A and B are shown apart, each in its own frame.
Chain A
């Protein structure tokens, strides 16, 4: 018994050190974001603030300058959600529909299309830039929110299709056949029988697609609307703003704010995420 106690202590010790190592940058950023600028510059990076202030957070949220505009990151934050919410909704719904077709209405071309989709999602993003630019220009949505929604929807579909397809393949075919016998059509089966079985995998898809869109920098920078850029591009802009003194505490607060949504998403839905990945559709 004592032997095991030793090993457990050792294990926890090691884990504690690791945790400390990974959390230390967060700690440094957190304390810095509550210090005044003078203190950030003058004190050690690990000391707690002498005077606690939330001024940097307020400034980052609504006053920090990006380029010539000084409205903080709030507009960009909102703009990001304006893009992410529809794009997530579209690509998850379309991915579910695609997965349903590929898994349950197997036609000869389904496997080929699936392979193409997979290959497509491994192509480096940069290769898409010029074709996308031309497409958006032709569609007359270059540099608009709609353009980014379109890009992210399309870009999310291979991933969501793959997730849903693999999930639906495990569903018994007889389920669909029973519904066909019952006289249900293609969409009736999808919405009444298949989709209600899918919340677990849908959560996985939402998390993956949302964090992908949220963290996107390349498309945001290239195709974003000036003054309404998605958050990552905006944060970069604020941090890199070249004139005046560098307000580290404000920059750090901006970065922290921008990291919050994905963090929250994982904290709230992480449990379901693991469940969705490990558990099949039919329990019991």
Chain B
């Protein structure tokens, strides 16, 4: 166990920002804290770092209770959202300042700086001031400053948010590589779910100061615990169909309008559903096809509808059709793109669909 948060809570005066946070990750995990702006990601990171005092709960790092321990004694390093490089110091001193504070001798500091500069390919920047660096270079220096102290846990607060798309993709790769090389624990904050899914070994989806779901990217994507997570995660927004549970020969099935499909494959998380229970059936646009090729042995809905809308996003096309008074998105991969108002047959694959209780919006 590398980092363990138990019932963590944080309030600023009367404002409760974090509540009941429970997270546990192993050494070498890459935890991504995912959530929209203002949900408390930075606050949680600051609590782990010790920059903000928690109101309740416990923080353990490497099995040691650090809840009341100074930030610099927690063996964590942080990369700040705005980088926060020291403006008056050259890059080399920016990187070695932490060592300087620990009283590490000059020669040793120098060696450490060289090691880090080699790792991040910033050796030629060491004599510059932060104001003479580009955004991407500043970011590397900020990472270098964290790296040099060889911490147990790296905390990164939206490190890519100030970079352009190309650089961002490059830094993502580099960061992942770095993570692999160091074998240390990373905790990264982002509101970008693609970033979360591509980088994480564990994801904690935050909303309203609470962990909505904590698990592997696979868990989060395929078995979202509630409607919020289902909607938040995924390249294209999940479709939600209002339906109800019905039983056929004691086997549960889901009915949407006149369409009924068996749920024999579906793993209900707790107890079995009841006859007539109102549900939301969540289907991702990428699980709606225009041919039945891969549907062998699977449950699905088949509908014939006219195409109502088309959206082009990069190489991706989404078409929309009406189903039970609702516009449903379908991702189209084939080279022949349908025309507007053209009649198509759509197959709604239920293999990876999610069911939520209509009232509580929790996964069934």
Contact = CB atoms under 8 A, between A and B. Distances in A.
Tell me whether A and B are bound partners.
Answer: yes
Interface of A: 172, 174-175, 177-185, 188, 192-193, 196-197, 281-284
Contacts of B81: 174
Interface string B213-226: 00000000000000
A181 B72 contact: yes
Contact of A197 (B82, B87, B97): B87
Interface string B76-91: 1110111011111100
Interface string B89-116: 1000000011001100000000000000
B28 interface: no
Contact of A192 (B49, B76, B97): B97
Given A180-B71, A192-B97, A196-B88, A172 B51 contact: no
A183 B87 contact: no
Contact of A181 (B49, B86, B88): B49
B72 A178 contact: no
B244 interface: no
The CB with the most chain A CB atoms within 10 A, among B72, B76, B87, is that of B87
Interface in B29-84: 46, 49, 51, 71-72, 76-78, 80-82, 84
Contacts, number: 61
Contacts of A192: 86, 89, 97
Contacts of A196: 88-89
A282 B72 contact: no
Contacts of B88: 193, 196-197
B131 interface: yes
6 contacts: A175-B86, A177-B78, A180-B71, A181-B49, A181-B72, A182-B145
Given A181-B71, A183-B98, A172 B84 contact: yes
Nearest to A183: B72
Contacts of A188: 101
A189 to B, nearest CB: 9
Nearest to B85: A178
Contact of A178 (B46, B78, B131, B149): B78
A180 B97 contact: no
A196 B102 CA distance: 21
Interface residue tally on B, bucketed by range: 20 to 34
A178 B86 contact: yes
Given A178-B78, A284-B131, A183 B84 contact: no
Contacts of B86: 175, 178-179, 192-193
B84 A182 contact: no
Contacts of A193: 86, 88
Contacts of A182: 72, 97-98, 101, 145, 149
Given A182-B72, A196-B88, A177 B101 contact: no
Contact of A184 (B51, B84, B97): B97
Contacts of A175: 84, 86-87
Contacts of A174: 80-82, 84
Counting chain B CB atoms within 10 Å of each CB, which of A174, A178, A196 scores highest? A178
A184 B82 contact: no
A180 B131 contact: no
B97 A181 contact: no
Contacts of A281: 87
Contacts of A184: 72, 97, 101
A196 B81 CA distance: 23
Given A184-B72, A192-B86, 9 more contacts: A180-B51, A181-B49, A181-B51, A183-B98, A184-B97, A192-B97, A197-B88, A282-B87, A283-B131
Given A192-B97, A282-B87, A181 B77 contact: yes
B170 to A, nearest CB: 24
Contacts of B78: 177-178, 181
Contacts of B82: 172, 174
A194 to B, nearest CB: 10
A183 B80 contact: no
A172 B130 CA distance: 15
B85 to A, nearest CB: 8
Contacts of B46: 177
Contact of B80 (A177, A282, A283, A284): A177
A184 B99 CA distance: 10
A77 to B, nearest CB: 36
A184 B145 CA distance: 14
A282 B72 CA distance: 26
A178 B76 CA distance: 12
Interface centre among A175, A179, A180, A181 (most CB of B within 10 A): A181
Contacts of B77: 181
A238 to B, nearest CB: 47
Nearest to A188: B101
B71 A179 contact: no
A281 B78 CA distance: 23
Contacts of B49: 181
Contacts of A179: 86, 97
Contacts of B101: 182-185, 188
A172 to B, nearest CB: 6
A197 B86 CA distance: 9
Nearest to B88: A196
Contacts of A181: 49, 51, 71-72, 76-78, 98
A65 to B, nearest CB: 52
A216 B97 CA distance: 44
Nearest to A283: B131
Contacts of A178: 78, 80, 84-86, 145
